Each structure stands twice: as structure tokens, then as C-alpha cells.
Amino acid sequence: MVCSIEAMVDQKDFLERFYRERWRVQDEASASDRLSFTHKPAWEIRACVSCGLLSRVPEPDYESVTNAYINETYDQSYLRSELATQRLWFRSKVPTLMRYLLPVSRRRIPRVLEVGSFVGGFLAEGLAAGWDMLGVDPGRDVVSFCRAQGLPVLRGTIPEAKLAVEFDAAAIWNTFDQVASPDELLGYVAPLLRPGGILVIRIPNGSCFDCAMNVRMTASKVKRSVIDVALAWNNLLTFPYLYGYSVEHIVGLTRRHGFRLKSFHPDTLASAPQGHLKRWAAVEEATVQWLVRLLTSSSGATRMAPWLDLYFERDALIGHGPKQLPLEPRW
């Protein structure tokens, strides 16, 4: 048991106060992103006794997970502010991927796939870098918004898309942890990447949450509050994700599909959209994230990082070309 029912109730109460006190813009969209989240709250968070993988109890089924993302609604003002924030954030991510792409891309213009495009921040920054971009997302509202911005997005899931082209890179930012069948997803993505192609996966760090819960159980009220603030600013409080992976989990999972780890980068959550926080809360957010990055860097402990960016290379000995996928598209 990583997080009991009692601890989960305590965290939910804290998160409610945290959000109400700090957010200047309190609407359905911001609450879904930082308070209520997409999935119904878990009762408990448990760790697998053999591998340590974190999972929710009860665990939602595949259909309910997919439908939740298809039917999520957002107002246009939130989507626009989130796009501006995401573009700024992805501007710092593109150079790292570019560094890995340059030696392996056989095209003058690299072709990059994004799984779970949301508002299109990565697509926009990839296009600005001169890449040939394509996004896939099941959400009606976010896909309509992306298309209105002129961004290339298919509505549906990767199995439904029936993609018949080969990509130099595939990115799964902030999505892998919400996938009900991650092994199946990798089975669809791997054949779409050419041998030597790059796979990027960004995940909330399950080891960080596990470590924080261990400390939190015996911490004083003041120390527990400090831990909760740091977790809340990184969307880890109540752990609103289907699974909590460590570096070792992801490496083992991707290896089965012909990937080897090139590097991983500890990180924190992207900032809230500009103007959504009260002034003092924006200062607190920046300070907490700076301290978390400093602590992670100085300690060298991966488990201290709330988020992880992992870069993989597809085995060059694997054959070329995507496999034909069986399901009908739905975009």
C-alpha cells in the first residue's frame, strides 16, 4: 500500500484548499487540469509486489478512459492560454529532440508523430523548427481547436489512425501514464518508427510519489504540508494517473518493443497559464519548482524528480515500415 484511503482523503481536502486559495481563474477547465482531473478519484494507490509499479484502486476500464478524453470540454479562452503556455514550454524541449534527430534522420525535413496532442503546443513548435508534424488525439474539443490553429491533427487513437508512413520520431508527452494499455500502444507506435528512430516518453515519476508517501506517513504536520505543496504544484498530489512508472519500468516495457534508452532528464510540471494564478501563488510556484530542480540536481537522486523525460532509440536491426492496423479511423 502506497497511499491509503485515509491519506487519499487528506490529500483531496488539501488539494481543494490549495486550488481555491491560489487560482485566480477558477473555471471548469482549470479545475479539470489541477483539481478534479479527468478520472474519478482513486480510493487507494498500490504498488505491485513484484515490480513496484503504482496503480489506482479501483482501476478504470479501457472504454471509460478513452471516452473521458473524447468527451472532455474546454472553453476557447482556456485553450488559447494553454496553447501559449505549452508553446513556451515546448520551446525548451525541441532542441533536445533536435539533437537526437540530426544524426539519425535520413530526410531533409524530419517527420515527427505526437501521440496525445492536446492543445497543439508541441505541434506548433515542431512546425516552427521546420519539421513535418502530425498529431493524433481522441478529444473532440482539442482536435477542433488545433485544426482551427492550422495544426495537423487526426482525431482518434493510434490504432484507429491506420498510419501508412514512417516517422523519424514519435513523442508521447504527458499521455503515457493515462493509457490503459501501454504495452499495446507501444506495439502500434514501434512499427511506425524507422530503425534508429527516436521515441520520447514523458511521465510523472511514480518513484517520486512513492518516496514522498513514505516520508509523509511519519512527517510532522508542517513537513507534511511542505511535501503536499510541492506535490500539488507538480500534479502529483492524489496521483491522478492510471500508472506510476519508474525509469526501470519504462526501460523494461520499451525494450520488449525494440527500444533502448538513450537518456532521461528529470523535470518539473510546466507552469500554469499566464494570468491564471494569484500573484503570490505564481511566485510560490516558481520558487517551489526551482527548489525541486535544485534538490534533484544536487542529490542526483532520480526519485526526487516529479517528472521524467525519457529518450529512446529504436533498434536499427528491426525491419522497416509500419504494419497495417485493423481498426477503422474515427476522426
Query: Higher pLDDT residue, 279 or 63?
Result: 279
Residue-wise pLDDT for 320-329, tens only, equals 444 433 332 2
Q: Mind listing the pLDDT tens digit for each residue in 194-216?
A: 999 999 999 999 999 999 999 99
Sheet holding 167-172, edge to edge: 153-155, 132-137, 111-115, 167-172, 193-204, 307-314, 259-267
Q: What domains can you pick out in the chain, each with its CATH number?
A: 5-314 (3.40.50.150)
pLDDT band at 190 (very low <50, low <70, confident <90, very high): very high
Mean pLDDT of 100-119: 90
Q: What is the pLDDT of residues 211-230, one digit of tens each?
A: 999 999 999 999 999 999 99
The pTM of this model reads 0.90
Residue 264's pLDDT is what? 95
DSSP string, 73-126: ---HHHHHHHHHHHHHHHHTTHHHHHHHHHHH--SSS-EEEEES-TT-HHHHHH
Grid look-up 529532440 returns: 97
Mean pLDDT calculated for residue range 168-172: 98
Position 328 scores a pLDDT of 29
Please state, in angstroms and rounded to a whole number, the distance separating the CA atoms of residues 297 and 313: 25
- Place 38 in a pLDDT band, splitting at 50, 70 and 90: low
pLDDT at 39 over 90: no
Query: Grid coordinates representing 147?
Result: 485544426
| pLDDT score of 40 | 64
Mean pLDDT within 116-142: 97
Question: 239: pLDDT confidence band, cut at 50, 70 and 90?
Answer: very high
pLDDT recorded at residue 129: 97
Checking if the pLDDT of 180 tops 90, the result is no
Give the pLDDT band of residue 34 (cuts 50, 70, 90): confident
On average, the pLDDT of the chain sits at: 89
pLDDT band of 54, cuts 50, 70, 90: very high
**How many percent of the chain have pLDDT more than 90?**
73
Q: Which residues contact 214 (CB under 8 A, 6 or more apart)?
A: none
Omega within 30 of 0 (cis) for the link into 58: yes
Q: What is the pLDDT of residue 188?
A: 96
pLDDT band at 183 (very low <50, low <70, confident <90, very high): very high
Task: Read off the C-alpha cell for 169.
Answer: 520520431
Q: Output the pLDDT for position 102.
A: 87
Contact 34, 19 (CB under 8 A): yes
